[in-house]
Chain A
Amino acid sequence: MRNVIISDATLRDGSHALSHQLTKGQIAAYAQAADAAGVPIVEVGHGNGLGASSLQVGLSLLDDREMLQTARENLSRSRLGIHVIPGFATINNDLRFAFDYGVDVVRVASHCTEADITERHISFTREQGKEAYGVLMMSHMAPKEVLLDEALKMQSYGAEAVIIMDSAGAYLPTDVMDRVGHLARSLKIPVGFHAHNNLGMAVANSVAAVEAGARIIDGASRGLGAGAGNAQMEVVVAVFERLQIKTGIDLYKALDAADIVEKSIMASIPYISSVSLVSGLSGVFSGFSKHVTLAAIEYGVDPRDIFFELGARKVVGGQEDKIVEVAMELKDRRERG
């Protein structure tokens, strides 16, 4: 039987779905439930990670310290994880205090071609004796050879795993097999996979990732996450049980945790909206959905056109200001005929 580590992104990627308005009560209740289920890693924070709360990408209701403290107080078995994008999060202002709040696992992320920027954050994490994972976001934008090159950099910096993110939900299972397999055969550290469900493939892609050699799979209860959501964690756990892939998670308790998300956290169940589907097809970051929808309304343009134009321009997370720029240009183009 194969072993896979499940990393739970409900309270981090799920924050996108709530416009980063998670409350202390929600964090406490879900963390307790995930801990009881034996989820190995529970990520907490703003959707874009530590230090990201801002007008541009969305202001959090709670600051990072409140979120981490609340989660820490309610986790005993599960390790506390954070998502860190260098630039949003600095070592001295953000990462250092995160360790004071008991963070165990730091997932240091960059765009899939920019692993160089993760060196100091990964090194600092290892120097504190904590676990550091490298994360390559928007991985569909680079061929597998480039992904390996970037992953090797993270490995050399001391990363103890490399997670490739399908941030746009653009992959089909064959894409996942090809990329994860290439990395798993070539790296000395475990490979992980983070799915989004824009094309309805999140769980199937997670299975494909494990078949190709992934040892870490991200999921979120009820799929709570940016855009069409993540791989639905309780479904992943159940499917893995059928496939004799061991996660160490108690399925009934994972279902209880998912019920808490449905009843007490999410405003609506994630589904593949037209906008999310187009996000996946155009290969644009799922977290842009709310921004695109708002810009489309404000400028009276079709959100699907915005997504395809953003995809053509290869816009990535952190370039949210491009959404308005594209919406304005589309409006201008239409008015000029």
Chain B
Amino acid sequence: MEKLLREMIAADCQEVVGSSPEALDKLRNRLLYVTGGTGFVGTWIAEMVCYLNQVHGFGTGLILLARDLDTFRKKAPHLVRCPEIRLVGSDVRDVIDLPSEVDYVIHAAATPDNRQHMTNPISVMDTITRGTATILDAAANLPHLAKILNVSSGQVYGRQSLAGTAITEDTVGEIPVNSITSVYPGAKRYAETLCSAYWSSRKLPIVTARPFAFMGPYQSLDKPWAINNFIRDALTDNAIRILSDGKAVRSYMYPSDMAYWLLRMLVDGGSGMAYNLGSPYGISLREVAEKVKEFSGMASEVLVRGMHEDNSVFVPDPGLVSASLKLEVKVDIDQTLKRSLRWFRETVKR
């Protein structure tokens, strides 16, 4: 990876850790084990650990478990060279034991790509359900286990009413059980319930994060999500198309905030608790598209087709994370989009 991009990510990490790295002191000289370790979440955890080690001398070890290591080696060779990082190639369902020195586990093995959910629903569900059980069984045998962080999904909240209010952790929405669209949220709900069962019966220290939407480095622009398409179309100078009336409200968190929040939830999250992980600042899709157009400097038009109304709101309520973990968003939506555009411009150039 080019020096410019590495410096950009280091600056992002510096910004969120700030001058108070002691908030993560519990990670010093500990060993983390991350499933789904080469995905978007795992890569950013690796960037953050690498930063903490290099700049603040944390001495934190990191094991990244994933099926596809070759892609990661090409994507982030600087992380592969990081002496504290070890790669393990395996399907999460095939794990038998974790190294006995492991202190913390982050379980993030599942693809949020809804194309995969539709095309390989059985495999997706099996990876989430059996993978979670496999990791919990293995973690239960660790002699020094400090905490497990289960990376769930904001989709466990199911369909929301159109009241337009932010989603709190105790919100319960409908997930139709007989629809292909329920494969991912249904499996994630099952995995969360499984974690609760292990927490209750085996007294495992488990905390859950429920991610919403993100944008930034290491995202893939081929994902069929609105903001990814907006950026891709802007960078290729194609019109940005919104099929609906553009009024749907979403929020986007920058990944350095995401990685920092995840590590804080890991070390300070209450066992048995679930926390929202996402920006509480909602923005309409139309506004996002207009900002992408403005910040990209491209001539792309924003075409709002208005073929249907969409007043849905999918934004997390920050109350619990703010009150109990004192977490706040450091990178606002404008910076999120500007930095993302810069990243993708550079990576496309490469």
Question: Given the interface contacts A152-B181, A156-B117, does A190 sit within 8 Å of B224 by beta carbon?
Answer: no
Q: In the bound complex, do residue B307 and residue A127 qualify as a contact, i.e. CB atoms below 8 Å apart?
A: no
- CB nearest to B221 among chain A residues: A127
Q: In the bound complex, do residue A157 and residue B115 qualify as a contact, i.e. CB atoms below 8 Å apart?
A: yes
A158: Cβ under 8 A from any B Cβ: yes
B180: Cβ under 8 A from any A Cβ: yes
Interchain CA distance A126-B230 in the complex, whole Å: 11
- B226-244 interface bits toward A, Cβ cutoff 8 Å, 1 = contact, 0 = none: 0001001100111101011
Q: In the bound complex, do residue B310 and residue A123 qualify as a contact, i.e. CB atoms below 8 Å apart?
A: no
Interface residues of B in 176-204 (CB under 8 A from A): 179-181
B114: Cβ under 8 A from any A Cβ: yes
Interchain CA distance A190-B224 in the complex, whole Å: 16
Question: What's the minimum C-beta distance from A214 to chain B, rounded to whole angstroms?
Answer: 11
A256: Cβ under 8 A from any B Cβ: no
B119: Cβ under 8 A from any A Cβ: yes
- CB nearest to B300 among chain A residues: A129
- CB-CB < 8 A to A119: which residues of B? 115, 119
Interchain CA distance A128-B229 in the complex, whole Å: 10
**Interface size classification for chain B:** 20 to 34
- A87-118 interface bits toward B, Cβ cutoff 8 Å, 1 = contact, 0 = none: 00000000000000000000000000000100
Interchain CA distance A153-B239 in the complex, whole Å: 24
Question: What's the minimum C-beta distance from B226 to chain A, rounded to whole angstroms?
Answer: 10
Question: Given the interface contacts A153-B119, A157-B115, A158-B224, does A131 sit within 8 Å of B180 by beta carbon?
Answer: no
A178: Cβ under 8 A from any B Cβ: no
Q: In the bound complex, do residue A149 and residue B180 qualify as a contact, i.e. CB atoms below 8 Å apart?
A: yes
Interface residues of A in 119-170 (CB under 8 A from B): 119, 123, 126-131, 149, 152-153, 156-158, 160
Interface residues of B in 114-132 (CB under 8 A from A): 114-115, 117-119
- CB nearest to A186 among chain B residues: B179
B170: Cβ under 8 A from any A Cβ: no
Question: What's the minimum C-beta distance from A193 to chain B, rounded to whole angstroms?
Answer: 15
Q: In the bound complex, do residue B118 and residue A153 qualify as a contact, i.e. CB atoms below 8 Å apart?
A: yes
- CB-CB < 8 A to B7: which residues of A? none
Question: Given the interface contacts A131-B241, A189-B243, does A116 sit within 8 Å of B119 by beta carbon?
Answer: yes
Q: In the bound complex, do residue A129 and residue B119 qualify as a contact, i.e. CB atoms below 8 Å apart?
A: no
Q: In the bound complex, do residue A152 and residue B232 qualify as a contact, i.e. CB atoms below 8 Å apart?
A: no
Q: In the bound complex, do residue B118 and residue A188 qualify as a contact, i.e. CB atoms below 8 Å apart?
A: no
Of A119, A126, A128, A131, the most chain B CB neighbours within 10 A belong to: A126
- CB-CB < 8 A to A129: which residues of B? 232-233, 236-239
Interchain CA distance A215-B222 in the complex, whole Å: 27
Interchain CA distance A130-B303 in the complex, whole Å: 13
- A251-290 interface bits toward B, Cβ cutoff 8 Å, 1 = contact, 0 = none: 0000000000000000000000000000000000000000
Per a CB cutoff under 8 Å, which of B117, B233, B239, B307 touches A190? B307
- CB nearest to B233 among chain A residues: A129
- CB-CB < 8 A to B229: which residues of A? 126, 158
Interchain CA distance A156-B120 in the complex, whole Å: 12
- CB-CB < 8 A to B237: which residues of A? 129
Q: In the bound complex, do residue A156 and residue B224 qualify as a contact, i.e. CB atoms below 8 Å apart?
A: yes
B81: Cβ under 8 A from any A Cβ: no
Interchain CA distance A157-B223 in the complex, whole Å: 9
Interchain CA distance A116-B180 in the complex, whole Å: 13
Question: Given the interface contacts A188-B308, A189-B243, does A157 sit within 8 Å of B224 by beta carbon?
Answer: yes
Question: Given the interface contacts A129-B236, A152-B181, does A190 sit within 8 Å of B243 by beta carbon?
Answer: yes
- CB nearest to A5 among chain B residues: B307
- CB nearest to B248 among chain A residues: A188
- CB-CB < 8 A to A215: which residues of B? 307
Q: In the bound complex, do residue B222 and residue A123 qualify as a contact, i.e. CB atoms below 8 Å apart?
A: yes
Q: In the bound complex, do residue A160 and residue B241 qualify as a contact, i.e. CB atoms below 8 Å apart?
A: yes
- CB-CB < 8 A to A127: which residues of B? 221-222, 232
Interface residues of A in 209-233 (CB under 8 A from B): 215
Per a CB cutoff under 8 Å, which of B118, B236, B238 touches A156? B118
- CB nearest to B236 among chain A residues: A129
- CB-CB < 8 A to B233: which residues of A? 129
Q: In the bound complex, do residue B307 and residue A123 qualify as a contact, i.e. CB atoms below 8 Å apart?
A: no
Q: In the bound complex, do residue A156 and residue B222 qualify as a contact, i.e. CB atoms below 8 Å apart?
A: no
- CB-CB < 8 A to A123: which residues of B? 115, 222, 224
- CB-CB < 8 A to A128: which residues of B? 236, 238
- CB-CB < 8 A to B180: which residues of A? 149, 152-153
Question: What's the minimum C-beta distance from B180 to chain A, rounded to whole angstroms?
Answer: 5
- CB-CB < 8 A to B118: which residues of A? 116, 152-153, 156-157
Q: In the bound complex, do residue B114 and residue A156 qualify as a contact, i.e. CB atoms below 8 Å apart?
A: yes
- CB-CB < 8 A to B308: which residues of A? 188, 190
- CB-CB < 8 A to A157: which residues of B? 115, 118, 224
Of A128, A131, A158, the most chain B CB neighbours within 10 A belong to: A158
Interchain CA distance A149-B239 in the complex, whole Å: 30
Question: What's the minimum C-beta distance from A184 to chain B, rounded to whole angstroms?
Answer: 9
- CB-CB < 8 A to B239: which residues of A? 129
- CB nearest to A131 among chain B residues: B241
- CB-CB < 8 A to A152: which residues of B? 118, 179-181
Question: What's the minimum C-beta distance from A241 to chain B, rounded to whole angstroms?
Answer: 21
Interchain CA distance A130-B237 in the complex, whole Å: 11
Pairs of residues from A and B, 8 with the lowest C-beta to C-beta distance, nearest first = A129-B238, A158-B224, A153-B118, A156-B114, A156-B118, A190-B307, A129-B233, A129-B236
What is A's interface to B at a CB cutoff of 8 Å? 116, 119, 123, 126-131, 149, 152-153, 156-158, 160, 188-190, 215
In addition to A156-B117, A190-B243, 11 A-B residue pairs with Cβ atoms within 8 Å of each other are A128-B236, A152-B179, A153-B118, A156-B114, A156-B118, A156-B181, A158-B224, A160-B241, A160-B243, A189-B307, A215-B307
**Between-chain CB contacts (< 8 Å), 13 pairs:** A123-B115, A123-B224, A127-B232, A128-B238, A129-B237, A129-B238, A149-B180, A152-B180, A156-B224, A157-B115, A157-B224, A160-B241, A215-B307
